[in-house]
Each structure stands twice: as structure tokens, then as C-alpha cells.
Structure 1
């Protein structure tokens, strides 16, 4: 019978010189390669106090590092401060709190400054290793896909501009924009635009503003071949005209209104084609068809703005038998679940089933939102609205640090490049280590039997300056 040695384990009052977030070394290296700290220091220099030891750029990077490691409030920066051998000296809590209040007092000028620094760092990362497959500006995987969506963030106390939401909750409704890295990666947070809880998910001006901010985050050479993807909340004539005027493509959910019902009744049965899944295999019980030819003219609108849909718009429908137990909808026809989307994509190779699969992959945006809520967006820690806007910029930077680290550290065939933040922290960032001094150098030693040492070793080699 073997003796269980773990059962007799007791806490020794003696302490060792260890670091508990040794994997954060990769985040620190990503900050260096991207130049984000330097860019933030330049952008936030107007808000630097006299005779300060810690500049605003350094403090914002430290906060983003703490959030990337799993923190969700300013006090969690203590985890970074407790490891100066790994992260360097960190400002005190009162200093950080004063800086956030200072930035919030001039939020209209601070937000563009932080976003400009993030865009510069993103350009440096993409120049070193482009996170998308294919060539920039091409359609063979090189197309940049921006996913737009709004989400709800619950407020558990009475915070400034927190309101009742359309889902009977209470809090905020930020508008989000992400870059989809496709099947070989995760995604990047381009825009987290804070809005009151009663903001409409169908507000066309909010979608226009979010798209413009998202495009400004992309490297200039990547903005010519962009696909905008969103659900039916973004399907307004004004927004689709805005996308068309920019020369971009779109794939937007189209609500099944009376015009769609009329087209469904007029379309011949032979117009339906088998749908496919993400692997290109036939999807049982699902069919696709283009409704554009049978769509009646829209009724004249009484609201200001464009009265017609943009030229070249196609409406594609997908019908599928609801799974057992699914609740039927009023828009279901003869037992078929009907969903539609609008797109202006034409050309060879873009068959109906291919376009439909591309639009259905918009579901990855829900993964990005879940990951962002695991990285600072689940809890808006301040009472002030402007303070929470600053916090969302820090959370977006933290999510970018994680995505940039995965992009630069691992090749597309390695699963770690697709891990969500929770798994990345558990397996890579949270590993403990020991800092030793040898040969006039400081070295970080990891546990001998840690099962993910090979991923950390590969990442460190990839993150070395070329």
C-alpha cells in the first residue's frame, strides 16, 4: 500500500523568493516588441504631473498587465506590484487612483490619445507577424473581418448613467468591435464604446461611430479589404450606405419582415440549395437561397436618411428544421426556421453556401465578448461614467496584450494560439518560478515538471527581437 505524501502536507512559515505569475514575462516582452508603453507615454504626456516617478503610460501598462493576469479592479494591481523582479516598480494605489481621476476629468481628449497609442502598437505587431492567413488586401484569407455587436454589463450598484436594459437588467450596454483572427487564432478588441443601459442595440449612429473607430485601429494598409459583420441590430439603410460609401463589404443580419415573407412565398422550390457546415460538408436539413429577385420594393420611410437599400445588396435566406424542443417563432414558415442576412459580396467563388457559412461564423463574436468579460469588462468598478470609459480602454488594451502575445509567440498550428484568456492564464501566465542571479544575469527558472514548459520556451524564443 502506497503512502499518500500529499495528505501530510503542512504550511511552512518560512518563505522562498518566488514569483507567482512567471508567465507574465511573455506579456512584458510583448509590451516591449509592440512599443505600446512608449506610445502611451508620448500620447499621455500632457497629463503627466510634475516631478512624478511613474508616468501615465507606465501606469496604464501596469494596469493592463494586472487585468490581463485576471484582475478586475484597480486594487488588483497589487499582484503586479508584489513582483518587482518580474514587472519592475509599480505606482502606489493612491497614485494610480489620482491618475485615473485626472484622465477621467479630460476624457474627451484622453480616449483618442489612448486609442492612437493602441493603433500604433497594433501596427507594429501586425508588421512583425500578421495574425490573419493569406496576403493583406486579398480574399484568400487576407480579408480583415470586423465583428460589431453590443452587449450588456450588469451594474450591482447605482452607478452614473446605469439604466434599465432592454433585457430587464440594470447596467450598461457597450458597443464592441473585434477583429476575427479566423480558425487559427482568437481576435483583437478594437473598440469598447461605453453606453448607458437604455441604449438601443439598433442605434445606427452608434454602429457608424463604432465602425469608424474600429477602422482607425487597423494598420492603414489593411483598411482596403474589410468585411463588416453584424447581427440584425445593425441592419439599417443608413449604416449599410455608410459601409458602401467607404468601399467595404458587409454581411449583416436581415430581419424577417413582411418583405422577406413575401419573397419566401414567391420563391420557387428549385431555388433552394443544400447548405454546408464549417468544414464544407453538407449540413443535414438546411438549405440556402437568394431572395433578392423576389424581394418587393420597400415601403417609403417616414424617418430621415436613405429611403432605399444600397445598390448591389443581396438578401440570402437559410432555412432549417428546428431541433427537437426548440421554441417556434412567428417568422417560421411551414415548420422551417428562417434566418436572413444582407451582403454586397459578388464574384467567382462566393457561392450561396460559402457566403452563408461566412456569415454564420459571426458567432465567434460571442466568444470574443465572453473573453473580454473575462478580461475586465464583466465589472465596471467606478461610479463615474468617465472613469468607467477609461477602465474599458484599459480592458481593451489588456485583451490586446493577450491576443498579441498569442500571435507573436506561437505558430498557427499550435493550440495555445486559440486559447481563451481563462485557459491561457491557468496554463501559461499563472505558473510560479524563481528568479536567480547567475553569471551577472538574472534568470527565471520554471518548475521542472510543468506540463506546458515547452509552450513557454517556444513563446520566449519567438518573442525575442529579430
Structure 2
């Protein structure tokens, strides 16, 4: 009798009553929330969204939704994964309770937004202070400001929702504007400061929406960015955008706040006299990559004297970059002599041209943060109500920010997990299984020692416990 060789082992599957825990790796996130005293912080800001005598308090509901989104859930009903493991995640609200909670938010959206902003600012102040020398607020200076990236994105929907409209790409859905913080390599992947949910037909170049999104982001920055009189210290910030943020109205608004900017600029059609000037490289400097190494045949130059700028803030300069067209790329009216010509505007007090160009081109990192946001729930927006979806997007931001804060506070600067995105965290750590046992009046969560990231989980758990103890003793800084 012939017996085929199976691709995988095929053990018999049976049910058991043992305390087996799926997604045991999420315990590092729940421990982090405990260390931050998240439940008490939320009670002061969101208690109006639950009845006074309710068993499930707003802090626990928000924490459960945050963990669920971080683990890969897409709908509020996905919290049932946490509910099956009460030994690790405690009592979890039912879908009906979560629905009523979101319904109350829908009726009082301004109250929820204000509560979220004040909570976010408190958490950010506390966690950045705990980062010690890596504190983005302490590291921000006029020469090396904290960078705020502003970008709009599209969220496609396949069902009718309040505020959903047709998009310029022929789809249907929303076009939120997102503000993220990029606090440099070696300090984590950055975090989300504000999400302004908008209808799909909203343009990306709306100065009004840029100003509103920026205002929401400034409201959640720590006190280190404000002087003793409460005035913003704008020189410690730099706003970086694509060409949609190059409107005169928005840039003059930034200048009035004292904020630096670096924004892409749509060049006018290159004139004949400028084509010859571009091909003459004696005025240009070689561009550098993100590691500071010179790039071959890529040049940058200060073109302020050649291309006049009208009605822009005083001190605005324009820098032009020329690089050979990539294989297969089609030349446009803006390209000359076989070079792709791009430009950006800045009012930065720093004048090293290749470094300014390198800093502006790092704007691509904000795309990775937006991608993680979409994986964390922003890409779904499950409710019909526009206000409820706006609240959902903020919860998604909290889920991704937890990861950014962990990278900043719980991990050494050189750790490889400091650059992991959300999907890698899910596969490598959060999906790790465990077993819950009780002995000697203590409950312990057992993790397989051979699991690839067991040491990472142990490191983060120990650091989190040390952080919690330090905060309980009143030591807020590292």
C-alpha cells in the first residue's frame, strides 16, 4: 500500500479547557497601558460617554479597542478575541456596550475630540520625558527642529456612509488630512498627531484644511514647545508637505507662527534661458542620500535669484534638484536636458543645500506612517456616522502611537525593532501564543522560550515594569 508524504505534520485537533492564550504578545501593550495609568487618565476625560454606574469604564473600552486594532482587528466586534482571554485582558465589554459608547460619541463629537487631545497631550508629555536624551521635545532646536509632516490620503469605501463622496481618482470615500511627527532615525518610526477626516471630494491643496489640521496637531504637543506665557515656540518646529501645502495662505500662516517650513513646489514651465543654466553644473552642488553619501549625477542649487517668488513669506528660498530620468520614465514639460527637475521651498535658517534637500526628501517616511494607520483601522471606518468614524480614526492613531511610544521609551536606540512597522509587530510579537498558570497565589503567563521574539518580549516587559515603578515613585524623567 502506497502512503504519500504530507507537506506538514497533521496532528489531531481537539478542544481543551486549558488556559491557552492567543496573541499573548499583546501583553506588552496592555502592560504599557497599565504603566501609563491609562484608565484613570481616560476617566477624567470620557466619563460622560458611559453611565455613572456602568461596569465597563471608558478607559477600559478605549484600551480594548486600541489593543484590538493593534492586533489586526477591523470591526468593534473583533474585541471578542480579547474577551476569550480574561486572565490577560480582564473583562471586555460586549459589542452592544461598545456600540452604545460610540453612539454617545456620535452625539457629542466635540467633547470626545477635546478629551482625546488633552489625554494625548498628557500621555505624550509623560512619555517623551521618560525617553531621557531621546526626548523629541528636548532635542528640537532652531537648527534641528521637530518635523511635522502633513499629507492627505484617500480611503476607498464600498458602501454609503455619511460624508463619503466621489474622489478625484474615480473612487468613493474619504480624503483625511493627517499630521505626523518624524523625530528622526534611531528614535522609532514617528507618531500621528492629528487626523482631520474629510469628504472624498475635498482637495489636497486646501489651505484652510492645512491650517485646521496643523492647529489640532499643535494642541497635542508637550509644554516644551510653549513658553511660560503659553505662546508657541515656533522655531523648534518645521512643517514638511508636498506641493499641496505650498499655498501662500498656508505658508504665511506658518510664518506668522514662527514655524519653519519645507514644502515641494510645482515649477512653472522651464524657460529656454533656464535650460542652459540647468545644464551648467558649476553653480550646482552634488546631492546626498539619507546616509550623507554623494549621489551620482544628482545636483541641487539655490534658484531663488533665477525664479522670482511673489507674495511668499520673507526669507522664502527655492531650491531646484536635477537628476537623470529613470529608465522608462516619461519626460514632462518640467524636465530638461534629460533631467527630472523638481523644487522645494523653505525658510529654514540653515543654508547647507544638500542637507536641506536630504531633509526634504525624507518626507517619504510619512507615507509609511499613513500605511500603518490604514492597517490599524483608518482604512475601514466601519460606522455610517461621520462623527463616529472621526472618533474611530483617532483610536486608530492611538494604536499606532502606542507602538511609536514603545519604540521610543522601552527599546534601546540601536534595537532592530525600533524601525518595525505595525504589520511586522503583529507577525513577530503580538501573535505569539502563551499559557496562563496559577501557583503560589500568583498568576503567570508562560511564553515559549524558543519563540523568535521571546527575548524581545522579556526585555520590553522588564523595561515596562521599571517604568511603572519609576512613575509610581514620582520620577517622571529618565
TM range (shorter): over 0.9
Corresponding position of 2:215: 212
Shift in CA distance, 204/158, structure 1 to aligned 2, threshold 3 Å:
same
Asked if residue 353 in structure 1 is aligned to residue 363 in structure 2, the reply is no
Q: How does 1:18-167 map to 2 (within 5 A)?
A: 18-129=20-131, 135-138=138-141, 143-167=145-169
Return the TM-score normalized by structure 2.
0.90
- Asked if residue 283 in structure 1 is aligned to residue 295 in structure 2, the reply is yes
Which residue matches 1:423? Answer: 424
1:65-464 matched pairs, under 5 angstroms: 65-129=67-131, 135-138=138-141, 143-184=145-186, 185-222=188-225, 224=233, 225-258=236-269, 261=271, 264-265=274-275, 267=277, 269=280, 270-296=282-308, 298=310, 308-347=311-350, 350-464=351-465
The answer as to whether partners of 2:138 and 2:224 remain within 8 angstroms in 1 is no
Deviations 1:391-421 (A, max 9, x none): 1111111111122222222111111111001
How far apart, CA to CA, are the structure 1 residues paired with 2:131 and 2:142? Answer: 18
Residue 119 to residue 161, structure 1, CA distance change in 2 (3 Å) = same
8 Å contact from structure 1 (residues 30, 404) kept in 2: no
**Aligned equivalents of 2:102 and 2:277: distance in 1?**
58
Provide the aligned C-alpha RMSD in A.
2.0
Contact 1:262 1:296 in 2 (8 A): no
- The 1:420–1:261 alpha-carbon spacing in structure 2 relative to 1, beyond 3 Å, is farther
State the TM-score, normalizing by the size of structure 1. Answer: 0.92
Structure 1 runs (4+) greater than 3 angstroms displaced: 3-6, 130-135, 260-268
| Helix, strand or coil at the partner of 1:315 | strand
1: CA distance between counterparts of 2:37 and 2:247?
39
Structure 1 unaligned regions, length at least 5: 299-307
**1:203, distance to aligned residue in structure 2 (A):** 0.2
Q: Residue 297 of structure 2 aligns to a residue in which SS?
A: strand
Structure 2 unaligned regions, length at least 5: 227-232, 471-478
Partner SS, residue 183 of structure 1: coil
CA deviation profile, 1:358-382 (whole Å, cap 9, x unmatched) = 0000000111111111111111111
CA distance in 2, matches of 1:165, 1:366: 19
CA deviation string 1:81-136 (max 9, x = no partner): 22111111111111110110011111122211112111111111111115557943
For the 8 Å contact 2:128–2:135, the answer to whether it is kept is: no
For each residue in 1:187-225, what CA deviation from the matched residue of structure 2 results, as whole angstroms up to 9, or x when unmatched? 111111100000000000100111111111111204631
Deviation at 1:36, TM superposition (A): 3.2
How many Å apart are 1:68 and its aligned residue? 1.1
The aligned length equals 451
1:277-301 deviation digits (Å, cap 9, x = unpaired) = 1111111121000111112353xxx
d(CA) in 1 for partners of 2:309 and 2:252?
17
The DSSP-based 3-state class of the residue aligned with 2:62 is helix
Structure 2 residue matching 1:148: 3-state secondary structure: strand
Change (3 A) 1:292 1:132: farther
Deviation at 1:34, TM superposition (A): 2.8
Contact preservation (8 Å) 2:129, 2:135? no
Q: Is the contact made by 2:302 and 2:320 (CA closer than 8 Å) also made in structure 1?
A: yes
Identify if the C-alpha distance between structure 1 residues 11 and 297 changes in structure 2 by more than 3 Å, giving closer, same or farther. closer
Comparing 446-455 and 195-204, the one that deviates more? 446-455
Q: Is the 8 A contact 1:36 1:120 kept in 2?
A: no
The 3 A distance-change label for structure 1 pair 165 and 273 is same
SS at 1:463's partner residue?
helix
In the TM superposition, residue 312 of structure 1 has moved relative to its aligned partner by: 0.6
Distance 2:291 2:274 in 1: 28
